[in-house]
């Protein structure tokens, strides 16, 4: 009887701790199993997103084969008007820039409340971002663009790009 009670208590504790960690995003440069609600693979990019339970915070991530820059843009399927986050690692030093797409260009823009982490391992660069959700998600759908280039900068054009809709 005593053992059954102990077992039941252990089961409850395990469930509570699973519920607390499952789906929690950590900005550590890794897209881990169960971390994001939606994960899609397209054009050699892995793109992931999750909306916090209270829908106030949006977390997005992109990973792909490059030793140069990696970027994710949200809010539209085009460069124009997209809120973009670009990142690269040069000589072990990470750099991130928040930009607004304008035509086929982009320029730095304020990003209050946003934070990002970029990492590069074995020729793969991963960028993870957390930001206020604002109105980026419409009817449960997030429009996302992704791109990467071989240089460590925020100016050069992509050699790979994609656009897709994620259901959150
Ligand atoms: C200065 C840097 C950039 C330049 C010069 C540039 C240039 C261009 C050009 C000329 C096109 C037309 C089609 C083509 O030639 O491929 C294009 C399309 C595209 N780019 Fe960029 N791009 C830049 C950065 C970015 C970034 C940072 C992203 C992602 C966050 C991105 C995502 C896309 C996508 C998804 C398309 C196809 C959709 C569209 O027409 O807007 N680009 N880009």
The residue whose CB lies within 8 Å of the most ligand 1 atoms, and thus the one to mutate among 157, 159, 160, 162, is: 157
| Domain range annotation of the chain | 23-167
CA–centroid distance, residue 156 to ligand 1 (Å):
10
**Which residues form ligand 1's pocket by a CB distance below 6 Å?**
71-73, 78-79, 84, 86, 104-106, 145-147, 155, 157-158, 161, 163
Q: Check: CATH 3.40.50.1100 for 23-167?
A: no
Task: Please list the rounded mean pLDDT of every run of 10 residues in the chain (168 residues).
Answer: 45 41 76 94 98 96 98 98 98 98 98 98 98 96 98 98 98
What does the pLDDT read at residue 23?
A: 56
Q: What is the dihedral of CA 141, 102, 63, 31, to 10 degrees?
A: -50
Q: CA dist 11 to 8, 124, 148, Å?
A: 5, 39, 45
> Which residues have CB under 8 Å from 9's CB, separation 6+?
none
Take residue 94 and report the two structure tokens written for it. Answer: 């990470």
What whole-number distance in Å separates Cα of residue 72 and Cα of residue 162? 10
CA–centroid distance, residue 94 to ligand 1 (Å):
22
Q: Is 118 exposed, middle or buried (0-12, 13-18, 19+ CB in 10 A)?
A: buried
What does the pLDDT read at residue 25?
A: 87
The residue whose CB lies within 8 Å of the most ligand 1 atoms, and thus the one to mutate among 161, 162, 164, is: 161
What does the pLDDT read at residue 24?
A: 77
């Amino acid at each position: 009887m005593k053992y059954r009670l102990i077992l039941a208590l252990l089961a409850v504790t395990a469930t509570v701790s699973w519920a607390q960690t499952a789906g929690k995003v950590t900005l550590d440069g890794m897209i881990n199993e169960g971390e994001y609600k939606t994960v899609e693979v397209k054009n050699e990019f892995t793109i992931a997103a999750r909306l916090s339970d209270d829908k106030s915070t949006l977390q997005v991530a992109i990973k792909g084969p490059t030793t140069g820059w990696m970027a994710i843009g949200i809010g539209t399927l085009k460069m124009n008007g997209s809120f973009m986050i670009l990142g690269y690692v040069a000589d072990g030093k990470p750099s991130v820039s928040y930009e607004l797409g304008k035509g086929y260009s982009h320029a730095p823009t304020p990003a209050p409340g946003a934070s990002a982490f970029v990492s590069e391992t074995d020729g793969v660069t991963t960028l993870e971002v957390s930001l206020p959700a604002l109105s980026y998600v419409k009817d449960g759908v997030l429009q996302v663009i992704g791109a990467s280039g071989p240089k460590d900068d925020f100016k050069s054009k992509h050699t790979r790009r994609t656009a897709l809709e994620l259901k959150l």
